Chains A and B, each alone.
Chain A
Amino acid sequence: KAGVTQTPRYLIKTRGQQVTLSCSPISGHRSVSWYQQTPGQGLQFLFEYFSETQRNKGNFPGRFSGRQFSNSRSEMNVSTLELGDSALYLCASSSGTLNNEQFFGPGTRLTVL
């Protein structure tokens, strides 16, 4: 069974631009969550999508948004990029049932210049 895939793996953007990251979950999984990892703040929860609906949201500004498609693939978008958005963005996939074990992708490394 293929694991969680994320594209692109690396991105370099400048301040003010916007970016879209993609995550394909494990086949059959309906829940996708996004996390931001920085050296200073560690791993922080952005949001979770389940069956195309946002089920949970972290404490990030509205510049961070996401969506999920009918095939469970998810995208997250960051508009008006700031230097502080430079981070490793990780997505996690789970079946969404009671077990809730989560499996992470390799991440997208975003650098904002």
Chain B
Amino acid sequence: KQEVTQIPAALSVPEGENLVLNCSFTDSAIYNLQWFRQDPGKGLTSLLLIQSSQREQTSGRLNASLDKSSGRSTLYIAASQPGDSATYLCAVILTGGGNKLTFGTGTQLKVEL
């Protein structure tokens, strides 16, 4: 059974700091990995999708990497801003798993002025 873990569970940083969020998964037979953010009481916003054949993806201040062999992905946020405050979730799709996402436990990020 695929298990996805995110560390840390919560993080508070001053504005402007670069930060790294971690995601680990137990089954390396993944099809892709997707990072989302969720604001309180809202739906999920897709940030980045990394296919299993890719090593990283970038979008603006965000960079996500994937290391299938070690079962890890990291989300790097450069020059953090208060608007980045949210819960960040990683999710994987197993090869042959259709569209079923298995979610991590999430990292709650607070960026302070």
Chain A residues proximal to chain B, CB less than 8 Å: 4, 6, 31, 33, 35, 42-43, 45, 48, 50, 55-56, 58, 88, 90, 92, 94, 96, 99-107, 109
Chain B residues proximal to chain A, CB less than 8 Å: 31-32, 34, 36, 41-46, 49, 51, 89, 91, 93, 97-103, 105-106
* Residue ID in chain B nearest A6 by CB atoms: B43
Write out the residue numbers on chain A whose beta carbons fall within 8 Å of the beta carbon of B42: 106-107
Top-6 shortest CB links A-B: A104-B44, A43-B103, A56-B98, A106-B43, A104-B43, A101-B49
Whether the pair A101, B97 counts as a contact (CB closer than 8 A) is no
Between-chain CB contacts (< 8 Å), 30 pairs:
A4-B43, A6-B43, A33-B99, A35-B101, A42-B105, A43-B89, A43-B101, A48-B99, A48-B100, A50-B99, A55-B99, A56-B100, A58-B100, A92-B44, A92-B99, A94-B99, A96-B99, A99-B32, A99-B51, A100-B49, A101-B32, A101-B46, A102-B34, A102-B46, A102-B99, A102-B101, A103-B46, A104-B44, A106-B43, A109-B41
Give the most central of A35, A50, A58, A96: most B CB within 10 Å. A35
Write out the residue numbers on chain B whose beta carbons fall within 8 Å of the beta carbon of A4: 43
Whether the pair B98, A42 counts as a contact (CB closer than 8 A) is no
